[in-house]
Structure 1
Amino acid sequence: MSELPDRRLLLVHAHPDDETINNGVTMARYVAEGAHVTLVTCTLGEEGEVLVPELEHLAADRTDQLGRHRIGELAAAMDELGVTDHRFLGGPGKYRDTGMIYDDEGNAAVPPQTRPESFWQADLVAAANDLVPIIREIRPQVLVTYDEFGNYGHPDHIKAHRVATYAAALAAARSYREDLGEPWDVAKIYWMAMSENSFRDSLRRLRDAGDTTTFEGMDPDAEYKMITPDRLIDCVIEGEAYVDRKMNAMKAHATQITVDGPFFALSNNNGHQIWASEHYRLVKGTAAPGPDGQEHDLFAGL
């Protein structure tokens, strides 16, 4: 690979579309600023629902071709964001989407039966060894992935968190697998987060606009495991200038995301404000907050 830019960001995600929903404006911003952005996607998302009627035949319980189709959707989304370095962990299709169920508390959980080739069943060391050489090649100063709960319980998100965390540790060890490249210690690791204040405010705005069906009518005041108290959030990326790119990238994931529902139509400005802010928890490295007590740059202090 040719000489890399001074700033390098690596994101580890479970399925195509996770990256755009969670980090679309972040990725677009850093590409625009000249940083090197690398996306590693762990599965093809074979078990996803198909929201396009004429493509329903691709589903896992029919022709099982959805994963291959989603490779194209991901490529189109990355074109919208400007990301040219996107890879699948171990190569396309090595690890299969595990699928998920909902538990009694409404969180995603592991299905009662999972395939042997599912990402959830993958050996942790083997999967980490597919990521270590990427870390050592790219030498990112910043790594972004999920929290230990996978942010909402999906088994592949949890596994992506574990693989990213373990691979980052192994990549830094001088004596570990010299054949996988020169050691590299990632300076800052962030877990993406859903701001509690933003989440509750968005639900209240929907209610005020008369929409009680989006997100299954979730109660703005209920307890949710997937949200993060704002006191625990270290970095907020405000991406107003890039939110249109994010929305176009979401449209590219057409089998998974419908962007014409009430939530998106809820006054363009409101909808865009909701999607333009992306939140992060710093779990390794030293925070360098600004005057408001938060970072607004993942590379702050480096």
Structure 2
Amino acid sequence: MLAIHAHPGDESTSTGGMLARYARQGARTVVVTCTNGEFDDAASGAVPGEFGHHPKAVAAHRRAELYAACDALGISDLELLGYHDSGAAGEVPQGGFCTIPVETAAGRLASLLEHFQPQVVVTHYSTHRDHVHANRVAALAVQRTGIPAKLYLTAVDGSTTIDIAEVADVKRKALQCHASQQLPGQFSLREHYFRKFDVTDAPLPESDLFAGITTSGPDLPRWS
């Protein structure tokens, strides 16, 4: 399982329950975080542009929170692409993630797909410009490599619903690791996903992102 997120914290809010559930079941779970989160709030509460908001310091703090959250979720591997946060609105900073050519970022992600050989890939679906870009990058990397059997997008209501009740305490702990962002403590006990790409023909709706996948083990063949 490989989850591609735009910012530190997205792994916990969007997919925290799902990642914790599959990690508990023994799956190798990989998180790829595309940006450093420079435009998140500072630990002091200062927002971008305010006195006390220093992007490099914010990025360092957000990385530390990310590591703690991934540890709480039982993530096997964390990969940081290190792009600059584009911000939610206004002028995009030089080198902002959403200005990076899709082909360039997808090439880096494709290398990670080659390395980890994930059966399932999950990424964003939202209007935030970095999330949109992560979506495009993930889709191109999956298409080019042909490795994953499935590609899912986070959704409000989708083709696949994952019950996370048994790991709700784990997701809550991961959210608390992102203390500087004051992430919400309340959340649904179900996470929803939309199946965008699939070669298994597993029937819908699903309650398991791995439905229809029959191969397992460290040396998975490519999907044709």
TM range (shorter): 0.7 to 0.9
The root-mean-square deviation of aligned C-alpha atoms, in Å, is 1.8
Q: Which whole-Å CA distance do the structure 2 matches of 1:258 and 1:121 have between them?
A: 27
Structure 1 match to 2:216: none
Q: Which letter does structure 2 place at the counterpart of 1:294?
A: P
Identity %: 35
Measure the CA separation in 2 of the matches of 1:29 and 1:247.
13
SS of the residue corresponding to residue 188 of structure 2 reads helix
Partner of 2:123: 145
Q: Which of the numbers 246, 252, 255 marks the counterpart of 2:171?
A: 246
Please say if 1:237 is aligned against 2:165.
no
TM, length-normalised to structure 1: 0.65
Amino acid paired to 1:137: H
| 2:134 alignment counterpart | 160
Deviations 1:168-221 (A, max 9, x none): 11223xxxxxxxxxxxx21111111013xxxxxxxxxxxxxxxxxxxxxxxxxx
Q: Spell out the pairing of 1:217-236 with structure 2 (5 A cutoff).
A: 233-236=158-161
Unaligned runs of 5+ in 1: 1-8, 102-110, 173-184, 196-232, 265-270
User: Match for residue 24 of structure 1?
Assistant: 16
Deviation of 1:115 (Å): 1.7
Residue of structure 2 equivalent to 1:122:
100
Deviation at 1:278, TM superposition (A): 0.4
- Runs of 4+ more than 6 Å apart: none
Larger radius of gyration: 1
Give the drift of 1:257: 2.2
Aligned-residue offset at 1:294 = 2.2
The structure-2 alpha-carbon separation of the partners of 1:132 and 1:70, relative to structure 1 and needing over 3 Å to count, comes to: same
1:190 — aligned with what? 152
Mapped partners of 1:32, 1:189: distance in 2: 21
Aligned residues: 209
Which residue of the partner structure matches residue 222 of structure 2? Answer: none
Q: 1:162 is matched by which residue type in structure 2?
A: R
Gapped regions of structure 2 (runs ≥ 5): 214-224
Query: Which residue number corresponds to residue 74 of structure 1?
Result: 66
Alpha-carbon distance in structure 1 between the residues aligned to 2:195 and 2:74: 25
- In the alignment, the residues of structure 2 paired with residue 87 and residue 258 of structure 1 have an alpha-carbon distance, to the nearest angstrom, of 22
Tell me, what secondary structure is at the counterpart of 1:189? strand
Contact 2:41–2:58 (CA under 8 A) maintained in structure 1: no
Note if contact 2:2-2:120 (Cα within 8 Å) is conserved in structure 1: yes
2:40 and 2:48 in contact (8 A); partners too: yes
* Cα distance in 1 for residues equivalent to 2:151 and 2:76: 22
Question: For 1:224-269, what per-residue CA distance to the aligned partner results, in whole angstroms no more than 9, with x for missing partners?
Answer: xxxxxxxxx211000111011101100101111244xxxx4xxxxx
Give the drift of 1:146: 1.8
